[in-house]
Amino acid sequence: MYKNKKITIVSHVLVWLLLFCLPYLLSYGQEQEIYRLIAHFWIPLVFSLMIFYFNYFVLIDRFLFPKKMLPFVILNGLMIILFVFLKEYIEDNFFQELLRKSTRSERSVRLPFKMAIYMQLLSYMAPLLFSIALKTTKRWSTIEAERKEASHFKLKSELQHLHYQLQPHFFFNSLNNIYSMVDVSPEQAKSSIHSLSKLMRYLLYETNLEMVPLAKEIDFLKKYINLMALRVSDNTTIHSSFPLQETGIQIAPLLFVSLIENAFKHGVSATKQSRIDISMSCENKRVLFTVENNNYPKKTDDKSGSGIGLQNLEKRLELLYADKFSFTRILKDNRFLVTLKIETN
């Protein structure tokens, strides 16, 4: 912020310095009369500078932006008229004799008074219009930056809300699974509690970041699959495949766990053969994740879980990746296939 302000000040100084030196640059090698420069160039330039900065710092903010056009036009009109006649007064009283002497030997035609006034009025309009353009551009940039900041804050708040929704949802479903093991297999229940504590440590301390290494997310998914595998019968076959090497990919946390959870919830039967296939592959910063399972519809009186997993996932994908993801679900031959593709670059 301070650096940008400093650059702006230096830029303004350089521009006005260039304008003051312009007569020398345009007439390099020719003899210059200082009083002619003062009367015809530097005095109007000082007046232009005053018009520019008085509008830039005072009039535009106070009158133009609040749409008080009448006082804005009147004040600028009075200021320009004042400078026109003040310039003529200075020239007539301080430089007239010198200018008359310097022009005796020159074949120059003096512009009519009305034409000279008209030309001066136009010349003073330039800094006025330039100050309006510059101030309007700056205001638009500020408004746009504030809008983006507000949008980012809203997005961050919404993502945080969804994130906080997911943790209790995950914890609730895991406890339901462990509860179902307590009477049947106490040792498995103990092991599940230990595994759950490791998963919760990741949820509490790692997933508060906007992005995490994909390797950590894969490690979390493997532990989650092992935890869920403890509650299924021998009729269920689980196959999982993940990248073995470090990919260097950063990804939003907890995007895949809901799909695995959904497979265990709807793809496992206590009496029938069931198979869950989980696969993840990475290529050129693109992550492809698929889960395929049998389809055993959940009974309407089954109240386990909160039912927000997939809704939460779709909402987070829309907020985080916009048009950089595809999410499809297909039911064919009593097999449910979900595919999630994410462009991470």
Q: What is the DSSP code string of 58-80?
A: IIIIIIITTT-HHHHHHHHHHHH
State both tokens at 78.
Answer: 């009075």
- Residues 195, 257, single domain; the answer is yes
Q: How far is CA 258 from CA 246, 307, 312, in A?
A: 23, 10, 9
- Residues 43, 60, single domain; the answer is yes
- Residues 105, 230, single domain; the answer is no
- Residues 162, 297, single domain; the answer is yes
User: Which residues sit opposite 20 in a β-bridge?
Assistant: none
Residue finishing a domain among 105, 123, 147: 147
Q: How far is CA 345 from CA 28, 212, 325, in A?
A: 55, 14, 11
Can you tell me the distance from the alpha carbon of 36 to that of 4, in angstroms, rounded to the nearest whole number?
38
Residue finishing a domain among 123, 147, 171: 147
- Residues 179, 132, single domain; the answer is no
- Residues 7, 117, single domain; the answer is yes
State both tokens at 326.
Answer: 């595809």
Work out how many domains the chain is built from and give that number. 2
State both tokens at 68.
Answer: 């008080």
Can you tell me the distance from the alpha carbon of 86 to that of 155, in angstroms, rounded to the nearest whole number?
57
pLDDT at 97: 59
- Residues 231, 117, single domain; the answer is no
Determine the structural domain holding residue 134 and report its residue range.
2-147
Residue finishing a domain among 125, 147, 169: 147
User: What are φ and ψ of residue 301, in 5° steps?
Assistant: -90, 5
pLDDT at 33: 59
Ordered per-residue pLDDT tens for the chain, 345 residues: 556 677 777 878 887 877 777 766 655 544 455 666 676 788 888 999 999 999 999 999 999 999 999 999 999 999 999 998 888 888 777 766 555 555 544 444 454 556 666 777 788 898 999 999 999 998 988 888 877 776 766 666 565 655 555 556 666 767 777 777 777 778 877 877 877 788 878 877 777 778 899 999 999 899 889 888 877 888 899 999 999 888 899 998 888 988 998 898 889 988 889 999 999 999 988 999 999 999 987 664 444 444 456 777 888 888 889 889 999 999 988 899 999 999 987
- Residues 187, 131, single domain; the answer is no
Q: How far is CA 84 from CA 112, 192, 210, in A?
A: 15, 88, 61
Q: What is the pTM of this model?
A: 0.54
- Residues 324, 181, single domain; the answer is yes
- Residues 179, 304, single domain; the answer is yes
- Residues 186, 306, single domain; the answer is yes
Q: What is the CATH number of the domain that holds 209?
A: 3.30.565.10
- Residues 104, 133, single domain; the answer is yes
